[in-house]
Structure 1
Amino acid sequence: MKKILIALGVIAAIVVAGVAYLYSNLDSIIKTAVEESGSRVTKVEVTLGGVNLDLTNGKGGLENLQVGNPDGFKTDYAFALGGVNVAVDTSSINSDVITIKEVTVDGPKVIYELAGTKSNIATIQSNVDAFTKTVSSGGASDDSGGEGPKLVIENLYVRDGEVAVSADFLQGKKMGVPLPTIHLTNIGKDSGGATPAEVAAKVLSAVNQSVIKSVSSLDLKGMMEGAGQVLEGAGSAVKGGGEGLKGAAEEAGSKLKGLIGN
């Protein structure tokens, strides 16, 4: 009997130690999960600076979450999300569908880069869409949580964002425009919960549409025409060249309208 009690005591100590280790390392576990799953879903490098958790109150925060660029794009990143705050319904934590009351993304920075006939934002969205379709069709397992609890997000806000446009014709400069506030409600509610990949696809689609709308408001064609006019006035010796560049700018500006959204 004494040996049995000792054995049970050892097992209990191991379990307690395991739980203590899990709770003391939750931040690093979540950080690893976000980076690995995010990179797999988007097919670009996803990095996370840190995680802050308040398990008692069901609150958490992600710091310096950054989504890199696909191959062929030169800017430092596509998204730098800054601070992400999450409030969870603690009564749902042990259920099959976890309810998240609110997700707030404050001050995200987006670099909308044009390269050839594609943009980095649309390329990432295509990657996420392809991953979601593959998982839905049973072609691959969803390591990001498709086989675990699903999510319902009651409110998701993206606030105070900025979009910078980068393209070869800007010669290293960037043009900026504010990103309108995005508010999504009841993500996954009608389908009995959504996987993290499905949530990512929905959020990225909304951000992509908002970015396209913001970028479309920029007078990129006018800026290029202005560059042609500056060269036109540089002197009579180069006036003909200025006219030619102005015409090229007009043509490039027309083509640019077709690129917005790709």
Structure 2
Amino acid sequence: MKKILIALTAIVLLIVAGLVYVYVNLDNIIKATIEEAGTRVTLADVTVDNVKIETTQNTASIGGLVVGNPDGFTTDYAFSLGNISVRLDGSTLTSDTIRVIEVIVDAPSVTYELGQGSSNIATIQRNVESFVQRVSGPTGAGGADGDSGDTAADDGSGTKVVIDNLYVRNGQVSVSAAMLQGKKLSSSLPEIHLKDIGKAEGGATPAKVAEEVITALNAAVFKSVSSLNVDGLLQGVGDLSKGVTGLIGGAAVGTGGAVKNGAGALEGAVKGLFGATPTK
């Protein structure tokens, strides 16, 4: 009996130690999860400076989230998403569908790089769409190849999300291309407001949410780029406006398309969203 009590005590201590570890390292765990999942979905390096979770208020903030460029593009990044604030419905964190009340992306910076017969933004969108198709398969129930690494995270069997409101505000777009000889064209990004993401289907996978958000960003970026006075802005660079305008048009083809009183619930929700235990 004494040995059994000692063993039970040891198990309890291990559980407590594990919970303490998760609580202390929760921000780093979520940071690593965002970077891993984002890189896998976009095929571009995703990095995050910091994550701050307020477990008692069901809020989170993400700073310095940067989506790099796919292979073949040379600018520093495609998206630098400024400050992101998230407000959750904590009562849903242990359910199959998590409700996000509001997401605000403030002061993002977008670099629209022309090249490869397309743009970096359109390429990222295609990568996300390809990922969603791969993990969903023709029937929406998992890819035909049975890729457990992806389907476990993002097919219909995992935790889903409904986002009531998502705002992208105070954004800036810069256009870069080799033919501009180092110069950049800049414009403001129209405000984006998406409502009820995933609501109609009873919840969307994280990859589907990413697809919808990037599609909206791509459309806003192209609208902003199209409004630039290319002829005027390229004075002194040479007679390149025709080439730039044509390339922008070509690049646009195909685009259009807390945490419940503790760290445990949020950690479980994160695992459910991305299908694996994130590493520190």
**TM-score with structure 2 setting the length:** 0.82
2:201 counterpart of 1:194: no
Aligned-residue CA RMSD in angstroms? 1.8
Q: Name the SS for the 1:189 alignment partner.
A: coil
Match of 2:170 in 1: 160
2:243 counterpart of 1:252: yes
Match of 1:210 in 2: 220
Q: CA deviation at 1:250?
A: 5.9
Q: CA deviation at 1:253?
A: 5.2
The answer (yes or no) to whether the contact 1:215–1:260 under 8 Å persists in 2 is no
The answer (yes or no) to whether the contact 2:135–2:154 under 8 Å persists in 1 is no
Match of 2:122 in 1: 122
Q: Name the SS for the 2:14 alignment partner.
A: helix
Match of 2:89 in 1: 89
Using the alignment, how far apart are the partners of 1:250 and 1:18 within structure 2? 60
Using the alignment, how far apart are the partners of 1:250 and 1:109 within structure 2? 24
Identify if the C-alpha distance between structure 1 residues 5 and 111 changes in structure 2 by more than 3 Å, giving closer, same or farther: same
Q: Name the SS for the 1:209 alignment partner.
A: helix
Deviations 1:193-248 (A, max 9, x none): 11110000000000000000000000113444x448xxxxxxxxxxxxxxxx65xx
The answer (yes or no) to whether the contact 1:75–1:111 under 8 Å persists in 2 is yes
Q: CA deviation at 1:254?
A: 5.2
Larger radius of gyration: 1
Using the alignment, how far apart are the partners of 1:105 and 1:185 within structure 2? 14
Using the alignment, how far apart are the partners of 2:73 and 2:241 within structure 1? 25
Gapped regions of structure 1 (runs ≥ 5): 229-244
Using the alignment, how far apart are the partners of 1:42 and 1:143 within structure 2? 17
The residue correspondences of 1:38-187 to structure 2 (distance < 5 A) are 38-137=38-137, 138-139=142-143, 140=147, 141-142=150-151, 144-146=153-155, 147-187=157-197
Q: CA deviation at 1:3?
A: 2.7
Q: CA deviation at 1:71?
A: 1.2
Question: What fraction of aligned residue pairs are identical, expressed as a percent?
Answer: 50
Using the alignment, how far apart are the partners of 1:88 and 1:122 within structure 2? 30
Using the alignment, how far apart are the partners of 1:203 and 1:45 within structure 2? 18
Q: Which amino acid is 1:26 matched to?
A: L
Identify if the C-alpha distance between structure 1 residues 124 and 7 changes in structure 2 by more than 3 Å, giving closer, same or farther: same
Q: CA deviation at 1:76?
A: 0.4
The answer (yes or no) to whether the contact 1:221–1:252 under 8 Å persists in 2 is no
Identify if the C-alpha distance between structure 1 residues 250 and 165 changes in structure 2 by more than 3 Å, giving closer, same or farther: closer
Which segment is superposed worse, 185-194 or 138-147?
138-147
Using the alignment, how far apart are the partners of 2:241 and 2:131 within structure 1? 39
The answer (yes or no) to whether the contact 1:101–1:155 under 8 Å persists in 2 is yes
Q: CA deviation at 1:2?
A: 2.9
Using the alignment, how far apart are the partners of 1:250 and 1:163 within structure 2? 18
Q: Which amino acid is 1:156 matched to?
A: L
The answer (yes or no) to whether the contact 1:221–1:253 under 8 Å persists in 2 is no
Q: Which amino acid is 2:211 matched to?
A: A
- Higher relative contact order (Cα pairs below 8 Å, separated by 6+ residues): 2
Identify if the C-alpha distance between structure 1 residues 20 and 29 changes in structure 2 by more than 3 Å, giving closer, same or farther: same
Using the alignment, how far apart are the partners of 1:48 and 1:97 within structure 2? 25
Using the alignment, how far apart are the partners of 2:111 and 2:245 within structure 1? 22
2:26 counterpart of 1:12: no
Using the alignment, how far apart are the partners of 2:53 and 2:46 within structure 1? 20
Deviations 1:126-170 (A, max 9, x none): 000000011110223345454431111111011100000111222
Q: Name the SS for the 2:201 alignment partner.
A: coil
Using the alignment, how far apart are the partners of 1:112 and 1:71 within structure 2? 14
